């Protein structure tokens, strides 16, 4: 960031003896300290609500002293000070252990009733009472300093930083000030060009860095945060725009639609009518595939919107034009499911060169790591010879011994990390850069798509194909025995009508912790009245045994499916479920994506409150895919009013995946939206919040694209290049994955 050596100095040169503690928080240089922004600001005039504190967290709170007394240990008489601090309504104990009586007396004298300060420490519970042990404390009144400046600064907003047990917010604040105060504007390289700063009315970088660490008013830090937020969005969007430009500059083989080919034959045999959205997106893909520029497109859509058919039609256009398509899936279960689905959709068109196959047909090859030697050899031969126009597989597709006759299109299924390294691996298997289609079954809010998939054009499917009856969703309280009993009766009714039932559990076995942290348990706050401990999560093996013994399911075969089963056993379990031989399938979330059994009409999710919103929506999407309506029963033990209960009730209340994705984003926050494995360890979003900053991201995107149009490699903007290198790229520079 800095052009001067001052900001490249190790942090230990500014903070002797604290270097390792700073490094543990990701700050190795003085420049890193400048970019370690406060999480929030304490107002000395406002007390912190003690009831909102979380046991186990390190906190910084503004409170007043109510009392302070000296007590002595029974064992050795060692003195300690027990202070009671308050927010005006509730109290919190602060205990200070000292070695000498004189030190304790001095501390008590300084803690006079009504004195206000910032207390920093870890919240714990002792003798059923919450407390801070040996908290750091700063007084806001300036009584301990005769200088006028101390009194003046006591009224300034106090930056509070993400801290650690070894390094509290007060020390970070002091070191940040030591770094920023002597800094000059000419010592900084500003990644935002002057013309953009002027157009967006953004102030100088040095002023923004000073005001975010040493604000005199709330307006100071708010203005600084906006400026630095914009810079973060601009640097990110500039790199995404540069990637788009680089991809567009690479030669690709045009794959125009061929009249009378496989695609026409497939369309003529389709037993259903494409939705308007499928036709529109299909035309979009067809136009881009026909150009000698690599298509770079994200296809996202509502659960059950028919993305697979759209992707297949694009693959057939490429096959007609002499190319091959590779479909990368994240798991063997999903790869196998895709291969089955594509073969079923194509019928004899997928049996090219085989007895009974269509004359103009091709083949769909499946390549995964667990194939037998013979099956693997056949699949490799079909891919290398071109006999297989479509090759479906997992990461096994990227291995060196996999060759293609003419790779023209790569389709990447959701949840799959498809990095630059893998893309280069596939390029080496093709004469020209292949076209790229990324599919995601999880609807992505527009702001996330702009931030995470900004180097791709986006197509969206919202319409569900005709003939699907939809799904009704209901919450079943886990402690309501009649409702739970009715759940299994409903499963039996659906089975008797020819339906299938999924029962989803978070774990595989009762004594196994796998999946126990699908959704983090909500932390207990000091305002809680003491919630009962959560019941153990239901597990696949034990639930399957229970269901086999239920009178309501007497005579109904119950199967299981989970990730520890062999590929053959998984295939058998899915085949038995699809055929109706085993109409009830107890499973983990391995069925979340891609599994397509049109007869499945009911889904029971146990411990639904422990799953995420998007996960519940994906699971629900496995039913109601045929003509019969589906019913989804979410069994939850979450108390009303808790975030977990809100998640479950929101899923039950709407089937709009984009609405649910936005709710999920707001509830969970971004987390590491970009993902350290995609962008490098120092690249989590710092100030930018995609749920809130959509307009700002829009502006930054427009400015960045305009800049890249003038200068595709940003050669004239070394400060911007340096910022991209520092924040967004490293040796693992990978294609962005969804959150």
pLDDT bracket for residue 560 (50, 70, 90): very high
Please tell me the class of the 262-461 domain: alpha beta
CA-to-CA distance for 606 and 224, rounded, in angstroms? 47
Angle, helix 567-579 to helix 332-346, in steps of 10 degrees? 40
DSSP letter for each residue of 531-577? PPPPPPPPBHHHHHHHHHT-GGGTT--EEEE-TTS-HHHHHHHHHHH
Which residues are within 8 A (CB) of 217 and not within 5 positions of it... i.e. 6 or more apart?
Answer: 156, 157
pLDDT bracket for residue 453 (50, 70, 90): confident
pLDDT in tens, 575-586: 899 999 999 999
- Is the separation of the CB atoms in 342 and 366 below 8 Å? no
Residue 300's pLDDT is 87
Residue 22, classified by CB atoms within 10 Å of its CB into exposed (0-12), middle (13-18) or buried (19+), is buried
What pTM does this model have?
Answer: 0.73
pLDDT in tens, 231-251: 999 999 998 899 888 888 888
- Is the separation of the CB atoms in 312 and 345 below 8 Å? yes
SS3 category, 390 = strand
Residue 414's pLDDT is 65
Pick among 3.40.50.300, 3.10.20.600, 3.40.50.620, 3.40.50.720: CATH of 471-526+534-654: 3.40.50.300
Residues of the chain with CATH 3.40.50.300: 262-461, 471-526+534-654
Nearest to 455 by CA among 710, 254, 238: 238
Residue 311's pLDDT is 95
Tokens of 683: 């690249």
pLDDT in tens, 682-738: 446 788 888 788 899 999 999 999 999 999 999 999 999 999 888 765 433 333 333
Can you tell me the mean pLDDT for 215-227?
Answer: 96
Tokens of 707: 């800049």
Residue 467's pLDDT is 64
Q: Which fold has domain 44-156?
A: OB fold (Dihydrolipoamide Acetyltransferase, E2P) (2.40.50)
pLDDT bracket for residue 476 (50, 70, 90): very high
CA-to-CA distance for 661 and 616, rounded, in angstroms? 11
The neighbour count for residue 500, using CB atoms within 10 Å, is 25
- Residue 279 — left, alpha, or beta (φ > 0 → left; ψ -120 to 50 → alpha)? alpha
User: What's the whole-number average pLDDT of the chain?
Assistant: 84
pLDDT in tens, 386-444: 999 999 998 888 888 899 999 999 998 865 445 555 656 766 677 788 999 988 877 77
Residue 681, classified by CB atoms within 10 Å of its CB into exposed (0-12), middle (13-18) or buried (19+), is exposed
pLDDT in tens, 107-148: 999 999 988 888 888 888 888 788 999 988 878 775 444 345
pLDDT in tens, 665-691: 777 766 556 654 344 444 467 888 887
- Residue 414 — left, alpha, or beta (φ > 0 → left; ψ -120 to 50 → alpha)? beta
- Residue 434 — left, alpha, or beta (φ > 0 → left; ψ -120 to 50 → alpha)? beta
Residue 290, classified by CB atoms within 10 Å of its CB into exposed (0-12), middle (13-18) or buried (19+), is middle
Residues of the chain with CATH 2.40.50.140: 44-156
């Amino acid at each position: 960031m800095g052009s001067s050596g001052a900001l490249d100095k190790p942090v230990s040169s500014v903070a002797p003896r604290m270097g390792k503690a700073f490094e543990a928080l990701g700050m190795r240089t003085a420049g890193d300290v400048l970019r370690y922004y406060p999480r929030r600001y304490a107002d000395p005039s406002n007390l912190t609500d003690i009831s909102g504190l979380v046991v186990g967290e390190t906190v910084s709170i503004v409170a007043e002293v109510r009392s302070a007394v000296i007590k002595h240990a029974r064992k050795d008489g060692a003195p300690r000070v027990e202070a009671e601090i308050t927010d005006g309504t509730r109290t919190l104990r602060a205990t200070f252990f000292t070695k000498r009586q004189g030190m304790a007396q001095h501390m008590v004298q300084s803690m006079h009733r009504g004195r206000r300060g910032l207390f920093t420490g870890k919240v714990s519970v002792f003798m059923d009472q919450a407390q801070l042990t040996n908290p750091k404390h700063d007084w806001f009144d300036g009584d301990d300093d005769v200088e006028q400046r101390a009194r003046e600064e006591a009224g300034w907003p106090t930056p509070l930083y993400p801290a650690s047990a070894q390094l509290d917010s007060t020390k970070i604040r002091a070191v940040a000030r030591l770094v920023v105060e002597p800094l000059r504007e000419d010592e900084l390289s500003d990644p935002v060009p002057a013309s953009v700063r002027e157009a967006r009315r953004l102030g100088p970088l040095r002023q923004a860095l000073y005001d975010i660490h040493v604000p005199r008013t709330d307006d100071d830090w708010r203005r600084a945060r906006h400026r630095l937020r914009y810079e973060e969005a601009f640097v990110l969007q500039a790199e995404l725009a540069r990637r788009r430009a680089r991809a567009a500059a690479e030669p690709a083989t045009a794959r125009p639609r061929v009249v009378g080919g496989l695609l026409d034959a497939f369309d003529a045999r389709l037993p259903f009518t494409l939705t308007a959205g499928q036709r529109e997106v299909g035309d979009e893909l067809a136009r881009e595939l026909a150009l000698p520029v690599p298509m770079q497109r994200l296809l996202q859509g509502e659960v059950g919107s028919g993305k697979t058919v759209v992707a297949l039609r694009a693959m057939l256009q490429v096959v007609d034009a002499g190319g091959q398509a590779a479909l990368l899936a994240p798991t063997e279960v999903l790869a196998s499911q895709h291969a089955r689905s594509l073969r079923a959709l194509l019928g004899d068109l997928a049996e090219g060169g085989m007895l009974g196959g269509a004359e103009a047909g091709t083949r769909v090859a499946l390549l995964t790591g667990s194939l037998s030697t013979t099956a693997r050899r056949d699949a490799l031969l079909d891919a290398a010879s071109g006999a297989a126009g479509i090759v479906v597989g997992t990461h096994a597709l990227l291995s060196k011994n996999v060759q293609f006759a003419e790779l023209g299109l790569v389709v990447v299924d959701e949840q799959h990390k498809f990095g630059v390294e893998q893309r280069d691996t596939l390029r080496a298997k093709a004469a020209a850069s292949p076209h790229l289609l990324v599919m995601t079954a999880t609807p992505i809010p527009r702001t996330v798509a702009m931030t995470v998939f900004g180097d791709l054009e986006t197509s969206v499917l919202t319409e569900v194909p005709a003939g699907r009856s939809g799904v009704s969703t209901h919450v079943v309280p886990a402690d309501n025995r009649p409702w739970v009993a009715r759940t299994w009766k409903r499963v039996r009714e659906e089975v008797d009508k020819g339906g299938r039932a999924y029962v989803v559990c978070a774990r595989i076995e009762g004594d196994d912790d796998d999946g126990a942290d699908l959704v983090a348990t909500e932390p207990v706050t000091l305002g809680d009245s003491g919630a009962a401990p959560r019941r153990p999560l239901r597990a696949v093996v034990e639930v399957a045994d229970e269901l086999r013994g239920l009178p309501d399911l007497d005579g109904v075969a119950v199967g299981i499916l989970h990730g520890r089963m062999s590929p053959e056993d998984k295939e058998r379990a899915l085949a038995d479920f699809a055929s109706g031989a085993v109409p009830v399938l107890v499973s983990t979330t391995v069925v979340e994506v891609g599994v397509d059994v049109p007869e499945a009409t009911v889904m029971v999710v146990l411990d639904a409150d422990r799953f995420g919103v998007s996960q519940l929506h994906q699971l629900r999407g496995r039913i109601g895919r045929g003509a019969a309506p589906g019913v989804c029963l979410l069994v939850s033990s979450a108390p009303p009013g808790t975030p977990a209960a809100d998640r479950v009730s929101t899923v039950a209340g709407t089937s709009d995946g984009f609405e649910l994705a936005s709710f999920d984003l707001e509830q969970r926050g971004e987390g590491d939206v970009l993902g350290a494995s995609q962008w490098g360890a120092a690249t989590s979003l710092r100030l930018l919040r995609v749920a809130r900053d959509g307009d700002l991201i829009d502006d930054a995107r427009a400015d960045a694209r305009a800049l890249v149009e003038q200068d595709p490699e940003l050669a004239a903007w070394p400060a911007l290049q340096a910022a991209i290198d520092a924040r967004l790229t490293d040796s693992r520079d990978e294609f962005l994955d969804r959150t």
